[in-house]
Structure formats: structure tokens, C-alpha cells
Amino acid sequence: MAPFSNRSAIRGRTASWDAPGPAAQPARRNGADRRRRGLPLLRYWFCGQRRRARRREDQGYVDVYDPLVVCVCLATLLLSCLDAFFTLLLLSVGAHELNPLMDGLLSDDPGLFINLKIAFTAVGLLILILHKNFRVVGRVRVLHFKFALFGLYALLVAYELMLLA
């Protein structure tokens, strides 16, 4: 017996290399050949593939994000814009900026202050949304920090509204 024998033939089955050629098999293909189409990149950009990590213990990235998470991020960005606007209003009535970096930007150019504040918030939210499934400590995920950040911004805007009243 040859050292590389066909074990499936011994069991009564034929291996794939022993199977008759395509001419002997009936054609069972229906529809267009999927290999002929190009990559459906736009479908994956807009619809995505993976909505959750595969396993409970996975900490991976996903393709499609929960609409609630996206709405919370957009609402946090909106609250950041309101915070910048209310900060300028409070400064016009005599308040002082406590953040030294933002105070320096405000004294140089208020437009630059607003642009950098919104850009820093947007980049931070983007990093948080990309890593939403990652665990920070124990059962605490980055997702929980996004909701906490939203709550803190809501409290800050409420406090600024109280100061303006």
C-alpha cells in the first residue's frame, strides 16, 4: 500500500480528486457568477457587516454602530457647541475661563477657540466610538464613558444656563 493512500476510498467514498470531472456532473449553478462583480465597498461602508463582537469576551471593532450610540455622540457634540457658545456669553458678562489652554486661545482668537474645542471633542468622540467594545476596567466598557461624558456635558450646559439666568 502506498504511503499516501486514499483513506476516503477505503471507507467507500471518493475523494475530491477522484470525483468525476465537471462534464460528468449536472450543472447546478443558477444566477450570475459572484466573482464577476466588483467589490461592494459602498455597501459595507453604509450597511456594514459586523454589528457586535463575535463572542462575549471579544473586544474587537465593529462595522455598524448602534443608532443610540451614534445619537449620544452627536448629542454630546451638540452640547459641546452649546458649551462653547455659552462660554463666550459668560465671558462677555465678566466670567473667567478656568482652563488655561482655552483661556490662552480665547485671548488670542475666539474663533480659533470654538474651532479647536469642537475639533478636540469630535476627535475624542470618534476615538471612543471606534473602541466602544473595549473594556477599561473589569466590566466597564468604553461605551459607558460615552454615556458618562454626555451626562457631564448636559450638567455643564445646565450649570451655564443657570449662570446666565
Q: Is pLDDT at 103 greater than 90 in this prediction?
A: no
Domain membership flag for residue 109: yes
Q: Phi/psi of residue 141, each to 5°? A: -100, 165
Domain membership flag for residue 80: yes
Domain membership flag for residue 41: no
Domain membership flag for residue 15: no
Bigger pLDDT: 86 vs 63: 86
Domain count, the chain: 1
Domain membership flag for residue 121: yes
Domain membership flag for residue 35: no
Domain membership flag for residue 86: yes
Cα separation, 49 vs 61, in Å, equals 11
Q: Is pLDDT at 49 greater than 60 in this prediction?
A: no
Domain membership flag for residue 27: no
Amino acid identity of residue 4, one-letter, is F
pTM: 0.62
**Confidence band (pLDDT; 50, 70, 90) for 69?**
confident
Domain limits for position 155: 67-164
Report helix, strand or coil for 140.
Answer: strand
Bigger pLDDT: 138 vs 58: 138
- What b/e readout covers 8-17, taking b as 16+ CB neighbours within 10 angstroms? eeeeeeeeee
Cα separation, 137 vs 150, in Å, equals 20
